[in-house]
Amino acid sequence: MIHVYKPGADPKAPVLVLLHGTGGNEHDLLGLGELISPESAVLSVRGNVLENGMPRFFRRLAEGVFDEQDLVFRTGELKAFLDAAAAEYGLDRENMVAVGYSNGANIAASLIFHEQESFRGAVLHHPMVPRRGVQLPELNGMPVFIGAGINDRICTKEETEELRSQLSGAGAEVEVHWEDHGHQLTRTEAEAAAHWFRREFQENG
């Protein structure tokens, strides 16, 4: 997968896996990664699917309607890439934290839904429930930050609460941050994610 890798100043800091939204690329979230954890190595990935020329991580049938078969395939594709990248760059595969926005948050959530110990934690900006009717693995206290918008018509409050419930039910420690906005990722939401990250991964070791 096309990607950017940036070594980190602190080898013990979690590796940030940056996953862009629809129409983005591997450069879009580098500033967000710098804000969340400037000491971390960064692996920023471009989705392999094109929708009207716009990169995505998996196909959809309509807005908010996922192509589940492709989602499952692309979830496995991302996992295989992360495993290979960890070996190539000498990264600790068990010390990766996903940072995704919109479509990127959805593929990160899908990997959490499907794979045991997929990430050490996750920052999900405006995610949806990736799949329904599947048994989640035991998440064993995985810290998850969800950024959501009260007026988000794509990821509604009900969708956010459903995702929170599913992750919490599988054992994750979920914190939801609400913004009085729509689907956009705001500076205050990004700063809230950075504050949460410091508390979870730096102050607590």
Catalytic residue positions, numbered: 102, 152, 183
Query: How far is 120 from 191, CA to CA, in rounded Å?
Result: 20
Give helix then strand counts, H and E, for the chain: 5, 11
> Radius of gyration over alpha carbons of the chain, in Å?
15
**How much of the chain is in helix, strand and coil states, percent to nearest 5?**
35, 25, 40
Please choose, from the candidates 171, 178, 43, the residue with its C-alpha nearest in 3D space to the C-alpha of residue 113. Answer: 171
3-state secondary structure (DSSP) of residue 111: helix
Token representation of residue 137:
């693995």
60-62 and 65-66 beta bridge pairing: antiparallel
Query: Contact at 8 Å (CB) between 174 and 167?
Result: yes
User: Strands 96-101, 121-125: parallel, antiparallel or unpaired by DSSP?
Assistant: parallel
